Amino acid sequence: MSKKVQYELEYPVRCSPSILYEFLSTPAGLQEWFADKVDYRDSVFSFSWNGSTEEAEVLEQEEDEFIRLHWKHAPKEEFFEFRIQISEVTNETILIVKDFAEKKEIADQSQLWDYQVKDLFHRIGN
């Protein structure tokens, strides 16, 4: 199995950082777009899709700025992160998604994130 590499995707979004952060860091917000069902206990999110459940531990977070999670089944150095930045040029809110994938899978994984983020934007009226 080849080593996974980190990749990053950027999405401009018409939404305040605080509203966006709610959709990225709370069970109710994540359940709107990321998974069918989301539970949270002791810094661990349980995400359910079609009856199967995956757990992700919160590694770090800062309100209205970012949340970094680690899939419990993944190697320790891997994580996925939602980061919120404000463009200095356009003053636009930008969602940055960081994740890990094998090089040959980055295009497919990016497409999956595109689909998920499109659903998120639909939920926040973007």
For the stretch 3-33, pLDDT in tens is: 899 999 999 999 999 999 999 999 999 999 9
pLDDT of residue 37: 97
Of the candidates 52, 46, 48, 102, the one whose C-alpha atom is nearest the C-alpha of residue 69 is 46
Q: Which amino acid is at 57?
A: E
Res. 1 pLDDT band, cuts 50 70 90: low
**CA-CA distance, 42 to 88, in Å (whole number)?**
36
Query: What fold does the segment set 5-125 form as a domain?
Result: Alpha-D-Glucose-1,6-Bisphosphate; Chain A, domain 4 (3.30.530)
Does residue 63 carry a pLDDT above 90? Answer: yes
Token pair recorded at residue 77: 């150095």
User: How far is it, in rounded angstroms, from Cα 112 to Cα 61?
Assistant: 23
Percent of the chain with pLDDT over 90: 91
Check pLDDT > 70 for residue 75: yes
For residue 42, pLDDT beyond 90: yes
Q: Are strands 37-41 and 52-62 parallel, antiparallel or unpaired?
A: unpaired
Tokens of residue 121, six digits: 């934007």
119 within 8 A of 29, measured Cβ to Cβ: no
